[in-house]
């Protein structure tokens, strides 16, 4: 990573992405393991998960991993994923009549952060996914005062998606790093997308290098 490991201690890190199905949960796992290897006690928080039938699949998987890595992390699934909805859609739609409370989310963040050195927060979808009419994922990053990791895909079209998301983060003065999840159009990425990305950003970071 570009920043020294001590930069992240006692902070929350918000894992966001250019869109859905880009690899936020995979990235969360990579960063949980990465910081644990560096000697930090890790924690995990997913404010909203949709498509939940019985238990949040992503949240439960990451909670189990977090407890393996940090024995002091005593949270339960309702602490880690406070808002759970059945419909696999943007939280604003999936929540129906439920109100997503920013105050509740910030209380949960503080509670979870008390049990770890670094709290990994996993977003839902991309930056402009709505939770309430005037509350978007990108707003949570500011409200949580989190450092940000943007996950971008390797598929055709990733240049546009990456630049648009970075523009949104810069417009909000959000400090971030970005990592490429090399999983889709993997064989063609070096020829189709990497030349521009390397010229534009000079250095690239890949999730699988963590």
Catalytic residues: 46
Spatial CB neighbours of 35, under 8 Å, sequence gap ≥ 6:
5, 8, 42, 117, 118, 120
Q: Where are the alpha helices (DSSP H) in 38-144?
A: 57-69, 77-80, 91-94, 102-113, 137-144
Is residue 16 within 8 A of residue 121, CB to CB? The reply is no
Is residue 161 within 8 A of residue 195, CB to CB? The reply is no
CA distance 181 to 201: 16
Which H or E element spans position 16?
Answer: strand 11-17
Q: 3-state SS of the chain: helix, strand, coil percent to 5? A: 45, 20, 35
Binding residue positions: 21-26, 50, 61, 122-125
């Amino acid at each position: 990573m570009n920043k020294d490991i001590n930069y992240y201690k006692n902070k929350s890190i918000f894992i966001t992405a250019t869109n859905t199905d880009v690899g936020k949960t995979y990235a969360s796992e990579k960063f949980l393991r990465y910081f644990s290897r560096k000697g930090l006690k890790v924690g995990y928080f997913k404010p909203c998960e949709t498509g939940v039938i019985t238990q949040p699949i992503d949240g439960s998987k990451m909670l189990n991993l977090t407890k393996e890595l940090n024995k002091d992390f005593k949270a339960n699934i309702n602490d880690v994923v406070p808002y759970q909805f059945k419909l696999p859609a943007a939280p604003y739609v999936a929540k129906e009549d439920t109100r997503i409370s920013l105050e509740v989310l910030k209380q949960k963040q503080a509670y979870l952060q008390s049990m770890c050195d670094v709290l990994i927060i996993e977003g839902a979808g991309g930056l402009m996914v709505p939770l309430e009419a005037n509350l978007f994922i990108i707003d949570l990053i500011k409200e949580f005062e989190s450092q940000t990791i943007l996950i971008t895909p390797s598929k055709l079209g990733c240049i546009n998606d990456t630049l648009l998301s970075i523009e949104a983060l810069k417009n909000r003065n959000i400090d971030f790093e970005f990592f490429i999840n090399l999983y889709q159009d993997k064989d063609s990425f070096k020829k189709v997308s990497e030349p521009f990305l390397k010229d534009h950003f000079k250095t690239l970071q890949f999730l699988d290098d963590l």
